Amino acid sequence: MSAAEEHREIAGAFTGRVIGTTDWDVPAPVEGWVARDVVRHLVTWFPGFLSSGTGITLPTGPSVDDDPVGAWRAHADGVQAVLDDPETASKVLSNPHIGQMPLEQAISRIYTADVFMHTWDLARATGQDERLDPERCAQMYEGMLPMDEMLRSSGQYGPRVPVPADADAQTKLLAFIGRDPEWAPSAG
């Protein structure tokens, strides 16, 4: 699957959860976040990362505070346009932490993977379908294991949550990135 196809599929699944959200202020699994903050995170960190590493500026949409659905759609459409552009195949992203990487690969490994994982956060917070592709979960988990120390020291992942050795791939991935797979919004 190409990076463009992968993003179209994963961002599409996230879009479904965004559209299905009826309360943007419910707590989310990331400490201190509400559902709106899951969208805010994705639409705020990536444009700067992309611009500083490539000079590409994504179009901006409405504010997440005013219109989280519109903000997400504008952002996801902008990323998709970058990936659908034939010129992207020849572009490189430069970053002081990861060095140089083909742009499509950087978007896939760093950004699209983040959208995939945050799909669970939004779905769990809002009571929607939280099942993630088990094959992708297993691949991501196995790929992240050797980078455990580096990922943890980045500050982007919480402490690993213990789960049984025979847990399914989604549970292992969520626990690895610091999510409690049993997390539920507090009542009241």
Contact 181, 162 (CB under 8 A): no
Q: What is the DSSP letter of 94?
A: E
Q: Which helix or strand (DSSP H or E) is residue 176 part of? A: helix 169-176
The per-residue pLDDT for range 131-166, each reduced to its tens digit, is 999 999 999 999 988 888 877 777 778 788 999 999
Report the distance separating Cα 165 and Cα 147, nearest Å.
Answer: 19
Q: What is the CATH number of domain 3-131?
A: 1.20.120.450
Spatial neighbors of 8 by CB under 8 A, at least 6 apart, are: 80, 83
What does the block give as tokens for 35?
Answer: 């559902």
Question: What is the reported pTM?
Answer: 0.91
The per-residue pLDDT for range 24-76, each reduced to its tens digit, is 999 999 989 999 999 999 999 999 999 999 999 999 999 999 999 999 999 99
Residue 43 has a CB neighbour count (10 Å cut-off) of 22
